[in-house]
Structure 1
Amino acid sequence: MKIGVVGAGIIGSSIAYHLGKAGARVTVFDIGEPGNGVSSTSFACLNAFGQAEADLPFRLDAIKYHSVIARDVGSERNLHTTGTLRLASFGNAAEKLEQNAKALSQYGSQVEFISAAAAGRLEPSIRTESAAEVVFVPEEGWVNAGALCGALIDLSTRRFAVRYRRERVQALERLQSKARLRLTTGIEVFDSLVLAAGNDTNALLTSAGFMPLRLTAAPGPLVDLTCSLGSQGVRRAIYADKLHIRPGDHGGFLAGVVAAAGDGPEHERKEEERRSLISSASQWIMNFAEMGQRWAVGVRPMPADGRPMIGPIDEDRALYVAVMHGGITLGPLAGRLVAAEIVQENEASELGAYRPRRSIAQDADWREPTLSLDRSM
């Protein structure tokens, strides 16, 4: 079986690895190095907390599978299951925190309510005294997503029949029960083609005459913070009201903020989030004003209903789509399930709620907003 995978972020890299492991001949296409796109500009937290209750079992299984894949590819040093610490400083947020904690615990997840003082002892660089409610979730954590993508592709190309090509995919073409890729170097035909192309998904679908999915792209600022002299940094992922913080992949902090509400112009939402991040970081992080700052923008793929889109897009199953927000958490497990569906031709029950056909735009005028992919700010 000859399979093409478009995109080498965490989802595409995992799909390619598991397809290769199952004996398929795989070619992965990306314009850059593995994990060098959205996966490298993501907060990359492994979390289930606060997600829709229907998605919690899949999320919790996906977090556990990160330990399996890390052992398989020898990337344990990139996985940090040190738990997440969640703080809320005012009434409504504290109530929501408690509700989410109870929902997660009903699925067997360990959730600990601790005091603000105890949180301060866990993370001395965070101002915890204003927290009205604090929850610690030991099984969650974060991953160096770019390094994991690199490890998956490296092992795949060394051990399995997987090739990696740095080449731009210009368009898709239908060919009866097969799929054709139009590349800069010509046409290539595959028995099955997987789109793990994130924000480029709809452009590729419509190039072959398919209706687009209800999928948008949301730019979100992240900031790498250089620790000031004497700062202890942080040891785990922390969610404090709108702010989220974790250790940086190369030292210091990585910080982001909850997406701005509304559907205003891209530049306005991005600037609103940047101001919110600065305000929240000033409130929660000690010595924030003294830290060096390097800004980036991650352009996140966002299904309209917030749930993953995973599955075949056509009746003959020659074209398969895997796109989602939360891909860092879900990517490795989704990759295993997708590979099994394609090679064994058996549907995975875990993916039944996430089929992309539920979200095909019926309106031919549906279009994604045009976004600038410039990651500097």
Structure 2
Amino acid sequence: MSRSIIVIGGGIIGASIAWHLTIAGAKVRLVCEKPGGIATPNSFAWINASWGNPHDYFKLRMRSIREWSRLGKDVAGLPLSWQGGLCWDLPEDKLLAYAEEHTSWGYDIKRLDAAEISAREPALVNIPEMALSAPLEGVAEPRDAAMILIADAMRRGMETVENARVTALKRDTAGRVSGVATDRGEWTVDEIVLAAGAETATLAAGIGVDVPIHTPPGLLVHSKPVPPMLNGLVIAPELHLRQTAEGRIVAGSDFGGTDPGTDPDAAADELFSKVKSFLKGGENLELDFHTTGYRPTPKDGFPIVGRVAGRDGLYLAVTHSGITLAPALGLFAAREILDGEDEALLAPYRLQRFA
């Protein structure tokens, strides 16, 4: 008999885990307030294994980049674009140190001079003397990717309960986490996957599990669609930009977004003014809307993934790097839940490290 599993959370992480569990033969019910998630639609959506992380995390991110390519072949219509990233978001000495380190780890990085940068991104107003090009990097349009994974899993037999707020996790008389209570009803299953983003800590606390996360806000501005201006991701000091397939320029002060402060509208106007002055023809850009996402970020900045000691039946998956890591975490979680495998790449990222 197939295992019955509830996945809580309709963002990219929950969608990927639910999809991988479904194709592996589990009986899956996805329970969420909104298909596509809450934080996921407000993501910058950069797929990368870029600077600032230790080697173990680099290896996990690189594996997930490869898994995105696999998933793109398995699921028709996933909105993936391998446009590459252009980065000069560090002082020159740190930029060169990053290039040297990551090249030694196997990351494809090329150093470009001003002429090469101008040829790559002719719309830039101010061309830096040097930047790094990472051809492996790309984008998964976040909400659409999650929705397509959910729809494909539903075609394969997954159930979805939408517009449902989970109010509590339930334990049986033996102490096993065995069900959920929602404002749409209660269900008992073999396993619970808690991938509820910012709500993860609150739901886990209800059964005595401390999940140390915070949820910093990140504001992104979105222009009205325009003809092509950018050829890839641009990771510049104090401004990260990309252009969507429909032509919108999406930007934040970094990939996590801008602090919206107490006046998000004013913060969005100020940020969009920087975007307009950053690009040739930018004076013709029009702000369409801005978004503020609350990124579920574990205390030490790295994912929390895996079973919880002393809480049989519960599997956690929470990370601030959901777009990059989604396909690998989905694959690994399905194997760990259904086959009892321990994935070595996830060993540093168990909740127990905070004990």
- Global fold match (TM > 0.5): yes
Equivalent residue runs for 1:1-377 within 5 Å: 1-33=3-35, 35-54=36-55, 55-76=57-78, 78-88=79-89, 93-129=91-127, 131-159=128-156, 161-166=157-162, 167-175=164-172, 176-210=175-209, 212-226=210-224, 232-258=228-254, 267-268=261-262, 274=268, 277-278=271-272, 280-293=274-287, 294-359=289-354
**Distance apart, 1:271 and its partner CA:** 8.1
Q: What's 1:364 paired with? A: none
Supply the distance in 2 between the matched residues of 1:99 and 1:269 (Cα, whole angstroms).
Answer: 38
Supply the distance in 2 between the matched residues of 1:48 and 1:272 (Cα, whole angstroms).
Answer: 33
Match of 2:105, SS? coil
Q: Is the 8 A contact 2:225 2:246 kept in 1?
A: no
Match of 2:220, SS? strand
**Distance apart, 1:133 and its partner CA:** 2.2
Supply the distance in 2 between the matched residues of 1:142 and 1:310 (Cα, whole angstroms).
Answer: 23
- Amino acid paired to 1:197: A
Supply the distance in 1 between the matched residues of 2:232 and 2:26 (Cα, whole angstroms).
Answer: 38
Supply the distance in 1 between the matched residues of 2:202 and 2:41 (Cα, whole angstroms).
Answer: 22
**Distance apart, 1:343 and its partner CA:** 0.1
Q: State the Cα RMSD in Å.
A: 2.3
**Distance apart, 1:342 and its partner CA:** 0.3
- Amino acid paired to 2:77: S
Going from structure 1 to structure 2, the CA distance change for 1:272 and 1:52 (only over 3 Å counts) comes to farther
Match of 2:5, SS? strand
Match of 1:48, SS? coil
Going from structure 1 to structure 2, the CA distance change for 1:73 and 1:317 (only over 3 Å counts) comes to same
Structure 2 unmatched runs, 5+: none
Q: Is the 8 A contact 1:310 1:356 kept in 2?
A: yes
**Distance apart, 1:277 and its partner CA:** 3.2
Q: Is the 8 A contact 2:51 2:98 kept in 1?
A: yes
- Amino acid paired to 1:343: L
Supply the distance in 2 between the matched residues of 1:115 and 1:245 (Cα, whole angstroms).
Answer: 20
Match of 1:99, SS? helix
**Distance apart, 1:279 and its partner CA:** 6.1
Q: Deviation digits for residues 90-134 of structure 1, max 9, x if unmatched?
A: xx62222212122211111211001122111111212242x1321
Supply the distance in 2 between the matched residues of 1:269 and 1:252 (Cα, whole angstroms).
Answer: 23
Supply the distance in 2 between the matched residues of 1:345 and 1:227 (Cα, whole angstroms).
Answer: 47
- Amino acid paired to 1:26: V
Going from structure 1 to structure 2, the CA distance change for 1:336 and 1:244 (only over 3 Å counts) comes to same
Q: Deviation digits for residues 143-180 of structure 1, max 9, x if unmatched?
A: 11211111211111112x41111122111122222422
**Distance apart, 1:71 and its partner CA:** 0.8
Q: Is the 8 A contact 2:276 2:285 kept in 1?
A: no
Match of 2:91, SS? helix
- Amino acid paired to 1:120: S
- Amino acid paired to 1:46: I
Q: Is the 8 A contact 1:215 1:304 kept in 2?
A: yes
Supply the distance in 2 between the matched residues of 1:69 and 1:45 (Cα, whole angstroms).
Answer: 16
Match of 1:106, SS? helix
- Amino acid paired to 1:190: V
Structure 1 unmatched runs, 5+: 361-377
Q: Is the 8 A contact 1:242 1:280 kept in 2?
A: no
**Distance apart, 1:75 and its partner CA:** 2.5
Q: Is the 8 A contact 1:220 1:273 kept in 2?
A: no
Going from structure 1 to structure 2, the CA distance change for 1:63 and 1:253 (only over 3 Å counts) comes to same
Off by >6 Å, runs of 4+ in structure 1:
269-273
Q: Is the 8 A contact 2:170 2:177 kept in 1?
A: no
Q: Is the 8 A contact 1:260 1:269 kept in 2?
A: no
Match of 1:267, SS? coil
**Distance apart, 1:58 and its partner CA:** 0.9
Going from structure 1 to structure 2, the CA distance change for 1:5 and 1:201 (only over 3 Å counts) comes to same
Going from structure 1 to structure 2, the CA distance change for 1:207 and 1:269 (only over 3 Å counts) comes to farther
Supply the distance in 1 between the matched residues of 2:278 and 2:181 (Cα, whole angstroms).
Answer: 50
